[in-house]
Amino acid sequence: MARSALLNVMVDAVRKAGRALTRDFGEVENLQVSHKGPADFVSAADRKAEQILFEELSRVRPTYGFLMEERGVVEGSDPAFRWIVDPLDGTTNFLHGIPIFAISVALERQGQLVAGVIYNPVMDELFVAERGGGAFLNDRRLRVATRSNLAECVIGSGFPFLGQGDHGRFLAEARLVMNEVAGIRRCGAAALDLAWTAAGRFDAYWERGLNAWDMAAGIVMIREAGGFVTDADGGDRMLEAGSVLAGNEEVRKRLGAVLAKA
């Protein structure tokens, strides 16, 4: 695929941050046996990756602002543009040596998401999408799955973790969904869940309790792969609501109807 200058900027940044994360991921296994454990090391890896992304994106687009997991809001001199960055989505997986994690970078222009890049550096899977230009995995065009019968569908989701989220609501929703679908998968990295839905690996995906940086790039990916995205209650304020429901038009509607019963 021919990438725009903008996507090249994003890809270069995530690849550089990905090299640092891959090196650090290689050290995690050695730290598992220590009494203190690798948690502090992983936090440092997260911050280092974010610093790389901040420096690289600022160097080539110095007027753009940021919304970042660690730094929060960084105002730019051009209020029309903002990067939305998650330097390490799937921190718990990284911490335990599970190679399912990603860097996620999206660009927002005048409040609209216009480009996204999601990169799993260990698997070397690079998902890119730009508004009007389609979605791609390592230069292969992506399309969402076409199944519409929920009984044939594998659905991605994310479970609330200790001290976070509405466990009761999730259990009520999951109980209903399990009775309708072929299976539910929980991979532990929302950005990759959305990318995998864009790639047709999941037929649909829903999750609550997310942050904007968890899903911004993935929203662009789904749309450019021919899918539909709402918040988990069917609205269009995903970033504000902190929830997402995505898939092809029919399965998204049907899954939304199941969730509504909870």
As annotated, the binding site for Mg(2+) includes: 69, 86, 88-89, 214
CB 252 within 8 A of CB 226: no
CB burial of 198-224 (b: ≥16 within 10 Å; e: otherwise) equals bbbbbbbbbbbbbebbbbbbbbbbbbb
Annotated binding-site ranges: 69, 86, 88-89, 214
Phi, psi at residue 139, to the nearest 5°? 75, 5
The alpha carbon dihedral of 248, 253, 255, 260 has a sign of positive
- In the block, tokens 């695929």 appear at 1
- What are 166-173's contacts with CB under 8 Å, separation 24+? 166/208, 166/209, 169/208, 169/262, 170/208, 172/262, 173/206, 173/258, 173/259, 173/262
Q: Is the CB of residue 144 less than 8 Å from the CB of residue 247?
A: yes
* Cβ count within 10 A of residue 143: 15
Cβ neighbours, 10 Å, residue 185 = 13
